[in-house]
Chains A and B, each alone.
Chain A
Amino acid sequence: MPETTLEIRPGVTIPEHLVGEVRSKLAYVDELIGGAEISPAGDLIHLYLQRKPSADEIQALKEKTNRVVNLMARGVIQPKVEILEDRLDLPLPYRDDPLEALTRRHEIHQEASGVYTLGPLVTRLMDYFETRFLALANHFDAAPYRFPTLIPARYLSRVNYFRAFPHSLTFVTHLRSDLDVIDHFAAHAVADESGRINMPADTYASIETLLSPAVCYHLYFSLADRKLDSEYMVATAVGNCFRYESSNLSSLERLWNFTMREVIFVGSKEFVLENREASRQYMQTVLDEIGLAYRVESANDPFFIGEFRRQAAFQSAFQLKYEIRARLPFRESTLAVGSYNYHQDFFGRHLNISLPDGSPAHTGCTAFGLERLAFAFLAQYGLKRDDWPVAVREGAG
Chain B
Amino acid sequence: MSDSTLLSKVKTVLADVFQVPEEDLSDDLVFGDLPQWDSMGHMDVMLSLEQNFGVEINAETIGSLTSLATICAYLEQNGNA
Q: Is A77 an interface residue (CB 8 A)?
A: yes
B48 to chain A, nearest CB (A): 12
Mark B29-48 against chain A: 1 for CB-CB distance below 8 A, else 0. Answer: 00010010011101110010
A349:B38 contact, CB within 8 angstroms: yes
Closest to A75 in B: B47
When chains A and B are docked, how far (Å) is the Cα of A314 from the Cα of B39? 6
A-B contact count (CB 8 A): 48
Mark B8-42 against chain A: 1 for CB-CB distance below 8 A, else 0. Answer: 00000000000000000000000010010011101
Mark A293-331 against chain B: 1 for CB-CB distance below 8 A, else 0. Answer: 000000000000001011101111111000000000000
A77:B58 contact, CB within 8 angstroms: yes
B59:A349 contact, CB within 8 angstroms: no
When chains A and B are docked, how far (Å) is the Cα of A268 from the Cα of B53? 35
Tell me whether chain B's interface is mostly helix, strand or loop, or mixed: helix
B81 to chain A, nearest CB (A): 21
When chains A and B are docked, how far (Å) is the Cα of A360 from the Cα of B42? 18
B59's partner among A75, A79, A307, A360 (CB-CB below 8 A) is A79
Given A78-B59, A79-B59: A313 touches B35 (CB 8 Å cut-off): no
Q: Is A52 an interface residue (CB 8 A)?
A: no
Closest to A79 in B: B59
Q: Is A185 an interface residue (CB 8 A)?
A: no
A contact residues around B62 at 8 Å (CB): 77, 313-314, 316-318
B42:A314 contact, CB within 8 angstroms: yes
B38:A310 contact, CB within 8 angstroms: no
Residue from A317, A319, A360 whose CB has the most chain B CB atoms within 10 Å: A317
Q: Is B60 an interface residue (CB 8 A)?
A: yes
B38:A346 contact, CB within 8 angstroms: yes
A contact residues around B38 at 8 Å (CB): 346, 349
Q: Is A345 an interface residue (CB 8 A)?
A: yes
A73 to chain B, nearest CB (A): 15
B57:A77 contact, CB within 8 angstroms: yes
A310:B40 contact, CB within 8 angstroms: yes
A contact residues around B40 at 8 Å (CB): 307, 310-311, 314
Mark A260-278 against chain B: 1 for CB-CB distance below 8 A, else 0. Answer: 0000000000000000000
Mark A195-227 against chain B: 1 for CB-CB distance below 8 A, else 0. Answer: 000000000000000000000000000000000
A316:B59 contact, CB within 8 angstroms: yes
When chains A and B are docked, how far (Å) is the Cα of A303 from the Cα of B8? 34
B contact residues around A318 at 8 Å (CB): 62-63
A317:B44 contact, CB within 8 angstroms: no
Closest to B61 in A: A317
Closest to B35 in A: A349
B contact residues around A146 at 8 Å (CB): none
A contact residues around B59 at 8 Å (CB): 77-80, 313, 316-317
When chains A and B are docked, how far (Å) is the Cα of A317 from the Cα of B59? 5
A349:B39 contact, CB within 8 angstroms: no
B32's partner among A309, A315, A349 (CB-CB below 8 A) is A349
When chains A and B are docked, how far (Å) is the Cα of A374 from the Cα of B64? 39
When chains A and B are docked, how far (Å) is the Cα of A318 from the Cα of B63? 5
Mark B59-73 against chain A: 1 for CB-CB distance below 8 A, else 0. Answer: 110110000000000
9 CB-based A-B contacts, threshold 8 Å:
A79-B59, A80-B60, A80-B63, A310-B39, A314-B62, A315-B39, A316-B59, A316-B62, A346-B39
Taking Cβ atoms with an 8 Å cutoff, the residues of B that contact A are 32, 35, 38-40, 42-44, 47, 57-60, 62-63
Further 17 A-B residue pairs, CB within 8 A, beyond A313-B59, A318-B63, A346-B38: A77-B59, A77-B62, A79-B59, A80-B60, A80-B63, A310-B43, A310-B44, A310-B47, A313-B43, A314-B43, A314-B62, A316-B62, A317-B60, A317-B62, A345-B32, A346-B39, A360-B32
